[in-house]
Amino acid sequence: MKEYELTVLVHPDLEADLEKALGKVRSLITDNGGEIIKEDSWGKKKLAYRINREDFAIYVYFEVNLPADAPLKISNVLNITDEVLRYLLVKADDKARQAMIEQKEREAKFGNSDESSDK
């Protein structure tokens, strides 16, 4: 199983009933042998350009573990799902994640260097 990042843009009209749409995405992942590691709802945001005559979307981010054949199956279903305006499914970048963790550790240890240089 490999680690992936999935970002889903849900139709803004479903804001009141978001759990139903997210339930479809969650079941799609688990039905294809995947497991959800992390889920983070970023809320309703303005889109950079219109998608299907919509200016806003609800952004939801998932970190998932998927078997080799699952990404294609998930992509095929998300392409025809009405609740989803757009999605992005990519392999997780371990080097970038490790660099971010190290950066946070340095900031915690030494404090934010930008604040001290402003004085």
109 domain-assigned:
no
- Structurally, the chain folds into a number of domains equal to 1
The pLDDT of residue 46: 96
DSSP state, residue 12:
G
What is the chain's pLDDT, residue by residue, as a tens digit (119 residues)? Answer: 899 999 999 999 998 889 999 999 999 999 999 999 999 999 999 999 999 999 999 999 999 999 999 999 999 999 999 999 999 999 988 887 788 888 888 888 887 655 544 44
17 domain-assigned:
yes
9 domain-assigned:
yes
Instruction: State the pTM of this model.
Output: 0.79
103 domain-assigned:
no
115 domain-assigned:
no
The pLDDT of residue 92: 87
Which residue range forms the structural domain that includes residue 36? Answer: 2-92
What strands lie across the sheet with 84-91, from one edge to the other?
35-51, 54-66, 2-10, 84-91
Q: Which CATH number goes with the domain that contains 66?
A: 3.30.70.60
